[in-house]
Amino acid sequence: MAFELPPLPYEYGTLEPHVDSMTMQIHHTKHHQAYVNNLNAALDKFPELKDLGLVDINKAVGTDKLPTEAATVIRNNGGGHYNHTFFWKVMTNPSNTNGPSGAAKEAIEAAFGSVDEMKTKFNAAAAGRFGSGWAWLGVKSDGSLAITSTPNQDNPLMSGLPDAAAMVPILGLDVWEHAYYLKYQNRRPEYIAAWWNVVNWEQVSANYEAAKAGTVPL
């Protein structure tokens, strides 16, 4: 069974003015679609990998489960498909978003001192990622929360990544230029600051519960 581009949980213009409609449209229908297409093409030659599912494909990156000749294309496009599928869901209408609550909020305060301190660290990871990549808030194997960033379409599910903490993501931010260039151009910190307005904290809580239960949210 081939992977498919998931529909957005909202309209292209829903995240305005923080993330513009044109960016959402190109980001979803062009960039994410290309990752899906390329992943399917790569897996055509290795049908047994398709049965793994998207999360396990990502976990297999960096291990010998992936054939050498397809390892890079699967990393780039399997990563891209997971990352973007995850990303659309952790955003929502700006009027919906209040802030973290419940167990997720307690975990954030335990790890960082406060929600604001978590945001400061997250902003630094997002702004400091040179080139293309992502910033992540996730649950480590010891159950605590941490922040990391990854290059290109890598994510913390993958094995053997240099410098990235292994974790199950509960919140992530795309800092490839295609995620913000039309509206923010070179002003990445402004994009990052605006993005907090559209974070879907209910989804983050659900992701946190799933991660604590030992599953990977998608």
Partner 1 sequence: MALFMKVQASSLIAGLRRGRPVSGRRALVTMGKVELKAPPYPLDALEPHMSKRTLELHWGKHHRAHVDNLNKQIEGTPLAGKSLEEIFLNIYRGGAYRNNIPVFHNAAQAWNHTFFWESMKPNGGGAPTGMLAEAIARDFRGFDNFKAYFRHAGMNQFGSGWAWLNTNESGKLMIFNTPDAMNPLVETKLRPILTVDVWEHAYYIDFQNRREDYLNTFIEKLIDWDVVAKRYAAAQQ
Contacting residue, 21, 40, 93, 132, with partner 1 by CB under 8 A: 132
Q: Please give the order of strands across the beta sheet that includes 168-174.
A: 145-151, 133-139, 168-174
Does 133 contact partner 1 by CB under 8 A? yes
Contacting residue, 34, 71, 124, 210, with partner 1 by CB under 8 A: 34
DSSP the chain: ----PPPPSS-TTTTTTTS-HHHHHHIIIIIIHHHHHHHHHHHHT-HHHHTT-HHHHHHHTTSTTS-HHHHHHHHHHHHHHHHHHHHHHTB--GGG-----HHHHHHHHHHHSSHHHHHHHHHHHHHH--SSEEEEEEE-TTS-EEEEEEETT--TTSSS-SSPPP-EEEEEEE-SGGGTHHHHTT-HHHHHHHHGGGB-HHHHHHHHHHHHTT----
Compare residues 168 and 179 and give the one whose CB is closer to partner 1.
Answer: 179
Alpha-carbon gap, residue 14 to 92, rounded angstroms = 7
Check whether 32 is labelled as a binding-site residue.
Answer: no
Check whether 84 is labelled as a binding-site residue.
Answer: yes
Compare residues 70 and 210 and give the one whose CB is closer to partner 1.
Answer: 70
Does 130 contact partner 1 by CB under 8 A? yes
Does 62 contact partner 1 by CB under 8 A? no
* Site size with partner 1, rule: CB under 8 A: 20
Contacting residue, 56, 177, 202, 209, with partner 1 by CB under 8 A: 177
Alpha-carbon gap, residue 104 to 218, rounded angstroms = 17
Q: Which residues sit opposite 169 in a β-bridge?
A: 138
- For tokens 């159950």, name the residue: 143
Q: Which residues sit opposite 5 in a β-bridge?
A: none
Does 156 contact partner 1 by CB under 8 A? no
Does 181 contact partner 1 by CB under 8 A? yes
Check whether 27 is labelled as a binding-site residue.
Answer: yes
Q: How far is the CB of 129 from partner 1 (least distance, A)?
A: 11
Contacting residue, 4, 13, 30, 113, with partner 1 by CB under 8 A: 30
Contacting residue, 71, 127, 182, 210, with partner 1 by CB under 8 A: 182
Q: How far is the CB of 168 from partner 1 (least distance, A)?
A: 23
Does 124 contact partner 1 by CB under 8 A? no
Does 152 contact partner 1 by CB under 8 A? yes
Does 94 contact partner 1 by CB under 8 A? no
Interacting residues with partner 1 (CB under 8 A): 26, 30-31, 34, 72, 76, 130-133, 151-153, 176-178, 181-182, 185-186
